[in-house]
Amino acid sequence: MAAPSPGSDMFDEIVMADDRFHGEGYQEGYAEGSQAGAAEGRRYGALHGAKIGSEIGSYLGFALTWQHLLPKCTDEKNSKKIRALDSLIGMIQKFPYGDPTYEKLQDDLEKIRGKFKQKITADFFWKAWGVNLLESCSS
Protein backbone atom coordinates (compact mmCIF):
# COMPACT_ATOMS: atom_id res chain seq x y z
CA MET A 1 0.00 0.00 0.00
CA ALA A 2 1.33 3.43 -0.89
CA ALA A 3 2.25 5.86 1.83
CA PRO A 4 -0.48 8.42 2.47
CA SER A 5 0.07 11.80 0.92
CA PRO A 6 0.67 14.70 3.33
CA GLY A 7 -2.82 16.19 3.07
CA SER A 8 -4.89 12.97 3.01
CA ASP A 9 -6.53 11.14 5.82
CA MET A 10 -5.25 7.60 6.50
CA PHE A 11 -8.79 6.32 7.02
CA ASP A 12 -9.88 7.63 3.60
CA GLU A 13 -7.05 5.60 2.03
CA ILE A 14 -8.27 2.45 3.76
CA VAL A 15 -11.93 3.03 2.87
CA MET A 16 -11.14 3.87 -0.76
CA ALA A 17 -8.79 0.87 -1.15
CA ASP A 18 -11.77 -1.39 -1.71
CA ASP A 19 -13.00 0.75 -4.60
CA ARG A 20 -9.51 1.03 -6.06
CA PHE A 21 -8.88 -2.74 -5.88
CA HIS A 22 -12.30 -3.41 -7.35
CA GLY A 23 -11.54 -1.14 -10.30
CA GLU A 24 -8.09 -2.62 -10.87
CA GLY A 25 -9.49 -6.16 -10.69
CA TYR A 26 -12.20 -5.26 -13.17
CA GLN A 27 -9.65 -3.86 -15.64
CA GLU A 28 -7.39 -6.92 -15.34
CA GLY A 29 -10.32 -9.31 -15.69
CA TYR A 30 -11.66 -7.42 -18.69
CA ALA A 31 -8.28 -7.57 -20.44
CA GLU A 32 -7.86 -11.32 -19.78
CA GLY A 33 -11.45 -12.03 -20.82
CA SER A 34 -11.00 -10.12 -24.05
CA GLN A 35 -7.91 -12.15 -24.95
CA ALA A 36 -9.56 -15.45 -24.06
CA GLY A 37 -12.73 -14.50 -25.97
CA ALA A 38 -10.78 -13.59 -29.09
CA ALA A 39 -8.89 -16.90 -29.01
CA GLU A 40 -12.10 -18.86 -28.52
CA GLY A 41 -13.77 -16.90 -31.32
CA ARG A 42 -10.93 -17.72 -33.72
CA ARG A 43 -11.15 -21.43 -32.88
CA TYR A 44 -14.92 -21.46 -33.30
CA GLY A 45 -14.71 -19.52 -36.56
CA ALA A 46 -12.11 -21.86 -38.01
CA LEU A 47 -14.13 -24.94 -37.06
CA HIS A 48 -17.42 -23.53 -38.34
CA GLY A 49 -15.77 -22.31 -41.55
CA ALA A 50 -14.27 -25.76 -42.14
CA LYS A 51 -17.69 -27.39 -41.71
CA ILE A 52 -19.28 -25.00 -44.21
CA GLY A 53 -16.43 -25.52 -46.66
CA SER A 54 -16.76 -29.27 -46.39
CA GLU A 55 -20.52 -29.11 -46.93
CA ILE A 56 -20.25 -26.88 -49.99
CA GLY A 57 -17.39 -28.99 -51.32
CA SER A 58 -19.52 -32.12 -51.13
CA TYR A 59 -22.32 -30.36 -53.05
CA LEU A 60 -19.85 -29.20 -55.69
CA GLY A 61 -18.29 -32.67 -55.98
CA PHE A 62 -21.72 -34.23 -56.43
CA ALA A 63 -22.73 -31.68 -59.05
CA LEU A 64 -19.47 -31.88 -61.02
CA THR A 65 -19.57 -35.69 -61.05
CA TRP A 66 -23.10 -35.77 -62.41
CA GLN A 67 -22.35 -32.95 -64.82
CA HIS A 68 -19.55 -35.12 -66.22
CA LEU A 69 -21.79 -38.21 -66.45
CA LEU A 70 -24.89 -36.62 -68.00
CA PRO A 71 -23.70 -34.68 -71.11
CA LYS A 72 -24.24 -37.73 -73.32
CA CYS A 73 -27.93 -37.62 -72.47
CA THR A 74 -30.03 -35.32 -74.64
CA ASP A 75 -33.61 -36.13 -73.63
CA GLU A 76 -35.76 -33.50 -71.88
CA LYS A 77 -35.66 -35.15 -68.47
CA ASN A 78 -31.87 -35.17 -68.38
CA SER A 79 -31.55 -31.68 -69.82
CA LYS A 80 -33.55 -30.41 -66.81
CA LYS A 81 -31.11 -32.20 -64.55
CA ILE A 82 -28.17 -30.63 -66.37
CA ARG A 83 -29.72 -27.16 -65.97
CA ALA A 84 -30.26 -27.78 -62.26
CA LEU A 85 -26.63 -28.91 -61.93
CA ASP A 86 -25.39 -25.86 -63.82
CA SER A 87 -27.46 -23.61 -61.57
CA LEU A 88 -26.10 -25.24 -58.40
CA ILE A 89 -22.51 -25.05 -59.67
CA GLY A 90 -22.99 -21.38 -60.53
CA MET A 91 -24.34 -20.63 -57.04
CA ILE A 92 -21.40 -22.43 -55.43
CA GLN A 93 -18.85 -20.65 -57.62
CA LYS A 94 -20.32 -17.26 -56.66
CA PHE A 95 -20.23 -18.11 -52.93
CA PRO A 96 -17.91 -15.67 -51.09
CA TYR A 97 -15.46 -18.12 -49.49
CA GLY A 98 -12.89 -15.46 -48.65
CA ASP A 99 -15.20 -12.83 -47.16
CA PRO A 100 -16.59 -13.82 -43.73
CA THR A 101 -18.09 -10.33 -43.33
CA TYR A 102 -20.35 -10.74 -46.38
CA GLU A 103 -23.83 -9.72 -45.18
CA LYS A 104 -25.77 -12.36 -47.11
CA LEU A 105 -23.43 -15.28 -46.37
CA GLN A 106 -26.04 -17.26 -44.42
CA ASP A 107 -28.76 -16.44 -46.95
CA ASP A 108 -26.62 -17.65 -49.86
CA LEU A 109 -25.66 -20.78 -47.93
CA GLU A 110 -29.33 -21.53 -47.27
CA LYS A 111 -30.13 -21.05 -50.97
CA ILE A 112 -27.42 -23.53 -51.94
CA ARG A 113 -28.68 -26.03 -49.37
CA GLY A 114 -32.24 -25.58 -50.55
CA LYS A 115 -31.30 -25.97 -54.20
CA PHE A 116 -29.41 -29.15 -53.46
CA LYS A 117 -32.13 -30.66 -51.27
CA GLN A 118 -35.11 -29.65 -53.36
CA LYS A 119 -33.97 -29.97 -56.94
CA ILE A 120 -30.89 -32.11 -57.02
CA THR A 121 -31.65 -34.85 -54.51
CA ALA A 122 -35.22 -35.15 -55.75
CA ASP A 123 -34.13 -35.54 -59.37
CA PHE A 124 -31.14 -37.76 -58.80
CA PHE A 125 -32.01 -39.95 -55.85
CA TRP A 126 -35.71 -40.40 -55.23
CA LYS A 127 -36.90 -40.61 -58.82
CA ALA A 128 -34.04 -42.94 -59.68
CA TRP A 129 -34.50 -45.38 -56.82
CA GLY A 130 -33.92 -48.81 -58.32
CA VAL A 131 -33.35 -47.37 -61.82
CA ASN A 132 -29.96 -46.91 -63.49
CA LEU A 133 -29.78 -43.22 -64.39
CA LEU A 134 -27.18 -43.78 -67.06
CA GLU A 135 -29.05 -46.66 -68.70
CA SER A 136 -30.90 -44.35 -71.10
CA CYS A 137 -27.60 -42.65 -72.07
CA SER A 138 -25.75 -45.79 -73.08
CA SER A 139 -27.92 -46.54 -76.12
Q: Are 100 and 53 in contact (CB under 8 A)?
A: no
Mean pLDDT of 18-29: 86
Query: For residue 81, how many other CB atoms are within 10 A of its CB?
Result: 22
Identity of the residue numbered 63: A
Q: Are 133 and 68 in contact (CB under 8 A)?
A: no
Nearest to 86 by CA among 63, 108, 61: 63
**Tens of pLDDT along 84-102?**
888 999 999 999 888 878 8
CA distance 63 to 59: 6
Q: Are 123 and 84 in contact (CB under 8 A)?
A: yes
Q: Are 84 and 120 in contact (CB under 8 A)?
A: yes
pTM (two decimals): 0.65
Give yes or no for residue 130 having a pLDDT over 50.
Answer: no
Mean pLDDT of 3-8: 56
Mean pLDDT of 105-117: 91
Q: How many CA atoms lie within 13 A of 134 on its CB side?
A: 9
